[in-house]
Amino acid sequence: MDNKKRNFFELPDKVLTSLPTGAVKDTVEHLGKKIAHGDYATGAILPREDELVESLGVSRTVVREAIKVLCGKGLIRTARRYGSRVCPFDDWNLLDPDVIRWHDPESPQTARIYAEATDLRLIFEPEAAALAAVNANRNQRDTILAAARAIHPLDGRASMIGADYMFHATILQASGNQMLSQLQNLIYAVMLFSYATSLKTPPEEKVARRNHVGVAEAIDSGDAELARGRMKDMLVLNKAMADKLVASMFQE
């Protein structure tokens, strides 16, 4: 049971696209990551289809289907006689779960996205908490409370971050707004980044946990105003830490 509970709060290792496992999926992941990692500059031409066929060891059918998927996410654009070129960053579907996930958590370039995501969280999560305080069902309130209490450093970083993700994701779900709920992909990206860089940051878990539990209790009690305020306070603190971290990354 303990084991089960622990698994429950682990950071889901993959938020997969709905593509079936197979060559197409692998190719999409491979190319998607390369593009998101910046291996090809904006406007750069990807290798020709037959080159990809050779280098990836799959058929042209697979390569083409993969490229079409990436087009659908705004990463690339194809033209006859020209090739597939990488779209300007503005055109990327930044809120697509896959595109978010493909960003390299280790890259300093991702830091900007991370900072933007943190700003965005500061905007919508307090409101989500307020909505959750009103709309959450019994089950959700329990999960939020349990996740908040599970945030302690003794279990190691991985499960701590897992609980953290579950905490925030459940609040979004409990808001009752499906679009708001989908922004949990954004939180997932921040968590990934946070996990990749957490080894360098000083642990402030005790404070973090107290804050989380505070928010959870406010939601559980149904006090929307209190939940909003506490969530906001928590995220302001979070943003301060994030900004410091990003600054230090660019300083290197």
Please provide the DSSP assignment of 17-46 as one string. -SSPTTHHHHHHHHHHHHHHTTSS-TTPBP
Residues 88-127 that bind its own copies (CB under 8 A): 89-91, 93-98, 113, 116-117, 119-120, 123-124, 127
Residues 175-234 that bind its own copies (CB under 8 A): 177-183, 186
Binding region for DNA (CB under 7 A) out of 41-49, 162-170, 228-236, 242-250: 41-49
Residue 49's closest CA among 76, 83, 87, 23? 83
Check residue 74 for interaction with DNA (CB under 7 A). Answer: no
Dmax over CA atoms of the chain, in Å, equals 63
Q: Which of 2, 14, 41, 82 binds DNA (CB under 7 A)?
A: 82
Residues 1-20 that bind DNA (CB under 7 A): 20
Binding region for DNA (CB under 7 A) out of 74-82, 119-127, 154-162, 244-252: 74-82
- Give whole-number Cα distances, 209 to 13, 45, 89, 167, in Å: 23, 47, 36, 11
Residue 31 contacts by C-beta under 8 Å, 6 or more apart in sequence? 46, 52, 66, 67, 70
Closest approach, Cβ 130 to its own copies, in A, equals: 10
* 116 contact, one of its own copies, DNA, none, CB 5-8 Å limit per kind: its own copies
Closer to DNA at the Cβ: 50 or 243?
50
- Give whole-number Cα distances, 165 to 2, 184, 194, in Å: 19, 8, 11
Q: List residues binding DNA (CB under 7 A).
A: 20, 22-24, 46, 48-50, 57-62, 64-65, 67, 78-84
